[in-house]
Amino acid sequence: MNGADSVRLAVLGSGKGSNFVAIAEACKTGQIPARIALVVSDVSEAGILARARERQLSAFNLSPGKFRTKLDETAEEELIGQLQKARVDFVLLAGFMRILKGKFLKVFEGRVVNIHPSLLPAFPGLEAWKQALDYGVKVTGCTVHFVDQGVDTGPIIAQRTVPVLEEDTAISLHERIQRKEQELYPQVVRGLVRGDIRVSGRTTYWKNAPPGAEV
Ligand code: GRF
């Protein structure tokens, strides 16, 4: 990294890109002192690619290869190469539906973060908002965490709570969680870019917690 203004981010997603948009807006206003150098999706028609192109950002459609939940070796090499070519400092996962491990995490060690729609370690994996509703919890939320070799298991950076209402459906609950995600993710990325977050073992420490943060 060569100073705060030139920190370069990549955002990886497979879906509509609402978290990407929140991060892109925060870069534009200066809340996050960084630029988005590359947006990657494994789904050619994903909204995130369209949202990136609308903003004249580099958007790359990655062919994931033969597996359903991970990248094959060629795809992993291609992804690493594209991110290195774009001189990316941090890799932000925002609904990227492929598990990243091994070589990828080695190359970008300590620089890959993810947002998950539950209060981890509760409800890892798919459709976490639905898992929470089906379980009957009264409070759920979202978590930003570093990515390690497991699924949704890395050190937690920040969390926000969302109450589960009696009248909630999976859709209404997911929408409220996503609104919280869009507040939280840019705050965490700002902290990362400014070098405010330190990790020791499983615990992360904030130098300057964002206002009102439950970190
Ligand atoms: C978010 O809810 C995130 O928590 C999950 O995938 C969803 C992505 O949504 N991992 P979007 O593409 O950012 O709108």
Report pLDDT for 144.
Answer: 98
Element (H, E) at 54: helix 47-54
Q: How far apart are CA 26 and CA 64, in angstroms?
A: 29
Any catalytic annotation for residue 174?
no
Confidence of residue 197 (pLDDT cuts 50, 70, 90): very high
With the most atoms of ligand 1 within 8 angstroms of its CB, the residue from 11, 16, 19, 182 to mutate is 19
Q: Is 88 left (phi over 0), alpha (psi -120 to 50) or beta?
A: beta
Q: How far apart are CA 31 and CA 7, in angstroms?
A: 13
Report pLDDT for 210.
Answer: 59
Residue type for position 35: R
Report pLDDT for 212.
Answer: 58
pLDDT tens, position by position, 99-155: 998 899 999 999 999 999 999 999 999 999 999 999 999 999 999 999 999 999 999
Q: 149, 109 in Cβ contact below 8 A? A: no
pLDDT tens, position by position, 16-53: 999 999 999 999 999 999 999 999 999 999 999 999 99
Q: Is 158 exposed, middle or buried (0-12, 13-18, 19+ CB in 10 A)?
A: buried
State which ligand 1 atom lies nearest to the alpha carbon of 17. 12
State which ligand 1 atom lies nearest to the alpha carbon of 116. 4
- Of 8, 98, 111, 116, the active-site residue reads 116
Give the Å distance between the CA of 18 and the centre of ligand 1: 7
Report pLDDT for 3.
Answer: 47
Chain Cα centroid distance, residue 168: 25
Closest CA to 173 of 207, 138, 121, 214: 138
Query: Can you read off the two tokens belonging to residue 119?
Result: 């209060």
Q: 38, 60 in Cβ contact below 8 A? A: yes
